[in-house]
Amino acid sequence: MSNPVDTENTTPEIKDDEEAILKETSIDVVTTDEEKINNGFMDRINTLMEDQDFKQKMNVAITLVLEIYRVLMGAFLTLFVPQECNDHICSQTENYSRSDALSRAGFSINAITMFSFLILYYIEVKRENKLITYLEVNRFEPRDNESVETALLKLDTSKKESIWRFDGYYQKMGFISLAMFIVNTAISSVVVYTHYLDNTTVTVYLTNVLFLGFKVSDVFSTVNTKKNIFFSAYLKRKIQFNDVDPDKKIKDYVEAKLNM
């Protein structure tokens, strides 16, 4: 008869082998899961980077930071333009803390101008986001007023009216900002001239005035169009939104086109 297998001696070795195999397998599984997660994350990033809406909104965010700096320098002329205080260049604190009526009035107008432009930027960003979300830049479609009006039939009425409404707000706020720009430039020029330093005063003053001047000009070139011509306020190359975003088309329109 054959001897029985000594299970007590062989079992620990088998267990060790099984544990080693399990460890290797578990490591492979974890690595595979991590790779899947990383690949999925990268796929989402690549999809976003290729998405027209995402790229346009990122461009708006970056440009807006520079725009806020521009309006800050252009509005507070009495604060940032070099001026003379007795025998030295005024610090910003000295420019702010002057107690004479003209300087206080100048700084107040600066602040009101800054506030009006911040409202303008708020409306501008809201308008831009609506254009990016609801509309599309389609180089294969015509861009005239009547053709875009036809394209807007694919969009829900409430969304279409929202675009028109903010386009109107943008134009009206542009006129208000223009008025504040003119008043601010006139009063600030008197304050700055009263504390004239040298040619630096003129150079910086004109540069800061042009900051806001170009902005006001850009606003009117953007909105001074026919009703259904929608230009972007932020993209470097002026583009026109002339079609409805595919995922914003109303269902009735899509079904009608399919049944034709």
The 10s digit of each residue's pLDDT in 11-39 is: 555 556 556 555 555 544 445 556 656 55
**Residue 195 in domain:** yes
Task: List, for residues 128-171, the tens digit of each pLDDT value.
Answer: 999 988 998 888 889 899 999 999 999 999 999 999 999 999 99
**Residue 72 in domain:** yes
**Residue 37 in domain:** no
Find the helix or strand (DSSP H, E) in which 84 lies. strand 84-85
Residue range(s) defining the domain that contains residue 243: 51-259
Which pLDDT band holds residue 234 (cuts at 50, 70, 90)? Answer: confident
Q: What is the pLDDT of residue 56?
A: 72
List, in sequence order, every residue forming a beta bridge with 249; answer none if it has no partner: 155
Angle at Cα 39 formed by Cα 38 and Cα 45, nearest 5°? 90
Looking at the 3D structure of the chain, how many domains does it have? 1
| 159, 249 contact by CB (below 8 A) | no
Give the predicted TM-score (pTM) of the model.
0.71
**Residue 20 in domain:** no
**Residue 5 in domain:** no
Task: List, for residues 52-105, the tens digit of each pLDDT value.
Answer: 567 777 777 788 888 888 899 999 999 999 999 988 999 999 999 998 999 999
Q: What is the pLDDT of residue 27?
A: 47
- b (16+ CB within 10 A) / e for 126-135: ebbebbbbbb
Q: Is the pLDDT of residue 50 over 60?
A: no
Angle at Cα 200 formed by Cα 197 and Cα 205, nearest 5°? 95
**Residue 69 in domain:** yes
How many angstroms separate the CA atoms of 109 and 190, rounded? 12
Angle at Cα 173 formed by Cα 56 and Cα 58, nearest 5°? 15
Nearest to 231 by CA among 145, 119, 117: 145
**Residue 108 in domain:** yes
**Residue 44 in domain:** no
